[in-house]
Amino acid sequence: MPNVLITGCSSGFGLAIAQRFVTEGWDVVATMRTPQTELIPRSKKLKILALDVTDADSITKAIEAAGPIDVLVNNAGVGMLNVLEGVEMSKIRELFETNVFGAMAMTEAVLPQMRFRRSGVIVNVSSSVTIKPLPALSVYSASKASLNAFTESLALEAALFGVRARLILPGSAPTTGFGKNAVARMGMNIPEPYGAFVQDCLTTLRSGTEFTTPDDVADAVWRAVTETESPMKTPAGADARTWFRKAGHALA
């Protein structure tokens, strides 16, 4: 079976993606900054490796330990809910280091072997905020828009060698703990003039009736990998699909 390497597997989308590929019988390399071997059912086809996508040495060691990689899923990401004035530039750079440069570094590390074999798939997990702009997400949206632009151009380059690049656009996923993890890591120092505004944003985000589940994202990634004619962008989740249609995009 092919070998898939997935980043950011400690929870949420990455964990569900890894579980899906294990269930399908693939050879899976599930990576995370701090390995937690109890998360995914044990399998002879599963490797769990330490990987920090912002650290070049960590990337090199993980790629060497993984063996041949047929599919790369760049899922590792950091969230941020805040207005621009509430975010220090150091935190903005930290966000881009993971969400954009981490995906670029992983792709650059894996692409040569795919190019040599003239086959492979690279799937980048972005966000539907690049379809529907939302307030208090300007920095996060900018990082995901950058990831989109990178992937779309990469797809043209990689196609020369039979390698596909695809984007997954999840919607809001309140059950994953992504928001809490983001606050714990990035902080949420809301400037006083924006306080009520941000609270209104939070209330609006939580009051929706359509959301995205980790399984929605795992299904979308599976289709992007296994369907050779899969679209460049695939929305994942009921809310993401709704936004996608309203933006004038056709659903595959």
Residues marked active site are found at: 140
Question: What does the block give as tokens for 175?
Answer: 């059950």
Residue 229: its H or E element? none
Query: What DSSP assignment string belongs to 1-22?
Result: --EEEES--SSHHHHHHHHHHH
Query: What DSSP assignment string belongs to 156-184?
Result: HHHGGGTEEEEEEEE---TTSSHHHHHHH
8 Å CB contact between 124 and 76: no
Q: Which of 122, 128, 76, 103 is nearest to 236 (CA)?
A: 128
d(CA 104, CA 101): 5
Q: Tokens 């881009």 identify what position?
A: 96
d(CA 33, CA 50): 5
8 Å CB contact between 13 and 214: yes
Q: Tokens 């390995």 identify what position?
A: 35
